[in-house]
Structure 1
Amino acid sequence: MSSNPIEHPTALIDQVRVAAADRQPLRIVGGDTKAFYGQPTTGTLLSMAAWSGIVSFEPTELVVTVRAGTPLADLEAVLAEKGQCFPFEPPRFGPGGTVGGMVAAGLAGPARASVGSVRDFVLGAQFINGRGELLTFGGQVMKNVAGYDVSRVMAGSLGTLGVLAELSLKVLPVAPAEATLVFELNQAAALEQLHRWGGQPLPINASCWVRDDTAPGAPELLFVRLRGAVAAVEAACIRMALEAGGQRMDSAQAGADWTACRDQTLPFFTAPAPDLCLWRLSLPQTAPVLALPYAQFIEWQGAQRWLWAPASAAAELRAAAAVVNGHATLFRAGADGAPGVPRFSRQSPVIETITQRLREQFDPAGIFNTG
């Protein structure tokens, strides 16, 4: 991976300007590992794959600045050499995922509920707007920002506001200790136990609950990962195991399982049938068990719940989520592509207005990731 000083992204700017003049849509692509996420986009390919490299990395400052096309795996390897990481564990749905795609998608892994989202680690961004102008927002220091924090708005925008060119991101040291406990608990008991632990000073970093419905009599299991100081992790292991009857997992096996959870390669994430869709329910952590006739996989201490259901279940799932002040996303469509089914729940009128105004300001010709 190149570490040379960044050059001006002239070719990208020229492509945007031509597209804006002709009002021709562009489809922004990094590694194309998240093409399944969101509404299908149309337009001429604008590839970020060649726009790669570390611009600067200051391990003592916990800040890295990179081009958006930098492969995520390459950057994480560089961070690991210095004992640092992205603690929100961005999912890697394939080997070619990029840093720009990580920020544009705004997706986080198992530790999201305890460490924060992608947006929380964006310090600054340089991007090309729909007029072909190279804009810079934020910076390379960890400080509060007054006014509208545009660099963080780019996180989760799915490329609809501009072409990310360069990103400054906060990183953190790898925790000195880690342990995973497993408990045999049904869903209601698992959620209750997680809520109880949430009010205690425990170094809980991640959790997941699952029951493999494909195996008769399969146990319902809650996995809890602890991270932090050695003494804190060891004390929590003893306390939690005694309280709920848990067992400590082998570290190597647990590490592999959490990686599979992060990247959705666990058996649960294999479609039970070609016509089923993977749905994500985003709920308050304190939401109760939902009376839905589908097997579930629960993360983020109850705040993220996955299930396989047909596209036709959209109204049912979104109504169930709305009752507890949550929402449902069609994360992966089935083999037929789920035509006519919106991938995301409708935004509130206030958020919809703000989103529309942002798009009008940054992409007045409407050329970025249309659809």
Structure 2
Amino acid sequence: MSSATPDADRSEELLAQVCTALSTGTPLLIQGGGTKAFYGGQGSGSLLDTRGHRGIVNYEPTELVVTVRAGTPVAELEAVLEGEGQTLAFEPPQFGGQATVGGMVAAGLSGPRRPWVGAVRDFVLGCRIVTGHGKHLRFGGEVMKNVAGYDVSRLMAGSLGCLGLLTEVSLKVLPKPRSACTLRLELDVPAALDRFAEWGRQPLPITAACHDGEALMLRLEGGEGSVKAAREALGGEQVSPAFWTALREFQLDFFADPAPLWRLSVANDCRPAVPAGAQLVDWGGAQRWLKSAADSTEIRRAAAAAGGHASCFTPGACDSPLHPLPAALMRYHRQLKAQLDPQGIFNPGRMYAGL
């Protein structure tokens, strides 16, 4: 299937491909644009390309809900939302326009606004998936008040395709902010963390906060009056908002460093004793990007000591890219996998070996 294929419902073809794989016991490697192959394990199996199954199924701007097929490029969806003055508030990376909606949900990667509005899973209202029983099922709904039943839809977010083949997803969207500005403040990291804690107790319209190693970058969004008042109160230099796009797309100079890239998720007010390496502090301190050739055990020990976890974003840099799970939690993962994919054909090894 070509990424240039017009909008089309290819769900029957995808279902048939899964049923054939089930009958022959052939593992499937689910892939859209292939832009997030660096994230998680490498996986294995016969390629199942979702890009031909694309297009917006239903969009109700007044209801703030859109239903879209999994192979639809994120950039294409965002362009449609832009026309209505709306957006995917969690800012998923587009990776040069090649990322698909299915991959966006499966990877669960969110951008700079995530701590203030929520993650990908918080915007998933419903979905359709092809299960490991060879059935095409719908879960959830297209209204924000629908909370009945087992929330399989949100389980798909961040599952890296290991639980089933996502064919369609309904998402909550939000209006674009009426006003926005980006500020640069000359602060070091310790001072920035102190400010984050202070500002968190104030009604400031902050929707992104990142220290790039040289200065603190802040984004203010909301009504014109509140943004203007906050800008005057916080001071700093007003700069281009392009910084946030470059951060979301991993295009800052920081990411060009050849050392392995690690993401540490920690409490936003902690100061983990991480190994030597370049650091970028995002999400108001809750996400720390680290460029380091240090041993994975050392990095993860530091993250765990800070009450968090660490994942490696550089393929081949360590044996387990995602932070190893405790035995009890891994047991739950295996039980869930067995329920939805009893033959284990979907993306084996993408999350953890043997899953």
Same fold (TM over 0.5): yes
Contact 1:3 1:54 in 2 (8 A): no
User: Which residue is equivalent to 1:216?
Assistant: none
1:300 aligns with 2:276: no
Change (3 A) 1:8 1:182: closer
CA distance in 1, matches of 2:148, 2:326: 25
Identity of aligned residues (%): 50
User: Which residue is equivalent to 2:302?
Assistant: 320
Deviation at 1:351, TM superposition (A): 2.5
Deviations 1:192-229 (A, max 9, x none): 11111011110110011022xxxxxxxx2000101111
Change (3 A) 1:347 1:81: same
CA distance in 2, matches of 1:239, 1:332: 40
Change (3 A) 1:37 1:8: closer
Deviation at 1:95, TM superposition (A): 2.2
Deviations 1:142-166 (A, max 9, x none): 0151442110110000000000011
User: Which residue is equivalent to 2:353?
Assistant: none
Which of 354, 358, 368 lines up with 2:332 in the alignment?
354
Change (3 A) 1:94 1:74: same
Deviations 1:322-358 (A, max 9, x none): 011100000123xxx23x5210111233432221111
Contact 1:187 1:289 in 2 (8 A): no
Change (3 A) 1:229 1:10: same
Contact 1:124 1:139 in 2 (8 A): yes
1:268 aligns with 2:254: yes
CA distance in 2, matches of 1:146, 1:136: 13
Deviation at 1:309, TM superposition (A): 1.4
Which segments of 5 or more consecutive residues in structure 1 lack a partner in the other structure? Answer: 212-219
Which of 230, 238, 254 lines up with 1:236 in the alignment?
230
CA distance in 1, matches of 2:39, 2:256: 16
CA distance in 2, matches of 1:234, 1:3: 44
Which segments of 5 or more consecutive residues in structure 2 lack a partner in the other structure? Answer: 350-355
CA distance in 1, matches of 2:155, 2:169: 13
Give the structure-1-normalised TM-score. Answer: 0.90
User: Which residue is equivalent to 1:27?
Assistant: 29
CA RMSD of aligned residues (A): 1.6
Find runs of 4+ consecutive structure 1 residues off by over 6 angstroms: 1-4
CA distance in 1, matches of 2:210, 2:9: 43
Contact 1:63 1:168 in 2 (8 A): yes
Which of 260, 270, 277 lines up with 1:277 in the alignment?
260
User: Which residue is equivalent to 1:259?
Assistant: 245
Contact 1:137 1:151 in 2 (8 A): yes
1:162 aligns with 2:148: no
| Aligned amino acid, residue 262 of structure 1 | R
Contact 1:3 1:55 in 2 (8 A): no
SS at match of 1:332: coil
Which of 213, 217, 221 lines up with 1:223 in the alignment?
217
| Aligned amino acid, residue 359 of structure 1 | K
CA distance in 1, matches of 2:40, 2:159: 11
User: Which residue is equivalent to 1:95?
Assistant: 97
Deviations 1:81-108 (A, max 9, x none): 0000001100122321100110000000
Give the structure-2-normalised TM-score. Answer: 0.94
User: Which residue is equivalent to 1:61?
Assistant: 63
Contact 2:261 2:290 in 1 (8 A): yes
Deviations 1:232-263 (A, max 9, x none): 1111111112xxxx2222xxxx2211111110
Which of 288, 309, 332 lines up with 2:292 in the alignment?
309
SS at match of 2:185: strand
Q: Aligned pair count?
A: 346
Deviations 1:242-285 (A, max 9, x none): xxxx2222xxxx221111111011111113x3xx2110001111
Change (3 A) 1:370 1:170: same
